[in-house]
Amino acid sequence: ANSDSAKRAAAARALDEVRPGMRLGLGTGSTANIFVELLGERVRGGLAVRGVPTSEATRALAERVGIALATLDQLPELDLTVDGADEIGPDLALIKGGGGALLREKIVAAASAAMVVIADHTKVVSTLGRFPLPIEVVPFGLEATRRAIIAAATALGLTGDVRLRMENGHVFVTDGGHFILDAGFGAIPDPLALAQRLAGIPGVVEHGLFIGLATKAIVAGDGGVQVLTR
Ligand code: DER
C-alpha cells in the first residue's frame, strides 16, 4: 500500500507535464496504469489530448477511461511519453520490460520529444542490474540466441542465468509475438557497452536497457516527490 501511494504521487505529479493538445505515449505497468487513470479523469474534465498506448493492456485501460487513442502510424511524432521503469540508474538509464512491453515502450519513447519516468523511490539504483534484464527475442533459434547473449555478456565480464520467461506454466508471449529472456547478470557497470553488443545479435528484437531516452524521472517515497533530470 505504501509503494502504491508512492506510485500514485509520482503519477499525479506527471500530470503537471501534460499540456492541452499534446500527443502522449502511454506506458505499461502498474505505475503507468495509475497515470492513465488520472489522465482519464482530466480528459473527462475537458482536457484534449491524444494517446498512443505501448501495449494492448494499456490500450484497453485507456479506452475504458475515455482517452482518445491513435496508433503510432497516425501520430509518428509524440510530445511526451509517461512510463514506469523497473530500475532507474545514473544518467536516467533504465531497465524496462518487467511488464513484457519493452519493444513498443522503446519505439514509443524514441518517437517522443520527452520521456518522463514515474516510479516509487525503490526503483532508483546506483548501478543497473539488480533487476534481471529483459531481452525480447524471436522464437526461431531461441537457444542459439540465448547462447549468443551469454557470450556477449561474458565478453564484458558479466555472468548469470538467462531464463526464458514463463507465465502460468506457458512461455510468455509479447504483444509482438516474441519471447522474453530475463538475464540475471547482476551489476551492469557499462550499460551502453552491453546494449551495443545485445543489439548486434540477430535473434534479439530489442533489450530493456533504455539509454538516453528518459528526460526526467519523477520518484516518490516517504520523503515526498523528487524530480531527477539528466
Ligand atoms: O518497464 C516495464 O515493463 C515495467 O513493467 C515498468 O513499466 C514498471 O512497472 P510497474 O510500474 O508495475 O513497476
In 3-state terms, what secondary structure has residue 135?
strand
Q: Report the pLDDT averaged over residues 214-226.
A: 96
As given in the structure block, the three cell numbers for residue 151 are 557470450
Q: Which domains does the chain have, with CATH numbers?
A: 2-124+211-222 (3.40.50.1360), 133-204 (3.30.70.260)
Mutation choice for ligand 1 from 8, 30, 105, CB with most ligand atoms inside 8 A: 30
Q: Report the pLDDT averaged over residues 120-129.
A: 98
Q: Report the pLDDT averaged over residues 124-136.
A: 98
Which pLDDT score is estimated for 3?
Answer: 87
Binding-site residue set: 28-31, 83-86, 96-99, 123
Question: Is the pLDDT reported for residue 1 higher than 90?
Answer: no
Q: Tell me if 96 CB under 6 Å of ligand 1.
A: yes
Identify which of 88, 81, 91, 86 has the alpha carbon closest to the alpha carbon of residue 58.
81
Q: Evaluate whether ipTM surpasses 0.90.
A: yes
Dist. CA 28 → ligand 1 center (Å)? 6
Question: Is the pLDDT reported for residue 96 higher than 60?
Answer: yes
186: left (phi over 0), alpha (psi -120 to 50) or beta: left
Q: Report the pLDDT averaged over residues 135-152.
A: 98
Identify which of 54, 57, 96, 83 has the alpha carbon closest to the alpha carbon of residue 71.
54
Identify which of 34, 104, 36 has the alpha carbon closest to the alpha carbon of residue 64.
36
Question: Is the pLDDT reported for residue 2 higher than 80?
Answer: no
Q: Report the pLDDT averaged over residues 103-128.
A: 98
Q: Determine which helix (DSSP H) or strand (DSSP E) holds 76, and give its type and residue range.
A: none
Is the separation of the CB atoms in 117 and 85 below 8 Å? yes
Which pLDDT score is estimated for 184?
Answer: 98
Q: Tell me if 99 CB under 6 Å of ligand 1.
A: yes
37, 63, 105, 136: which is the annotated catalytic residue? 105
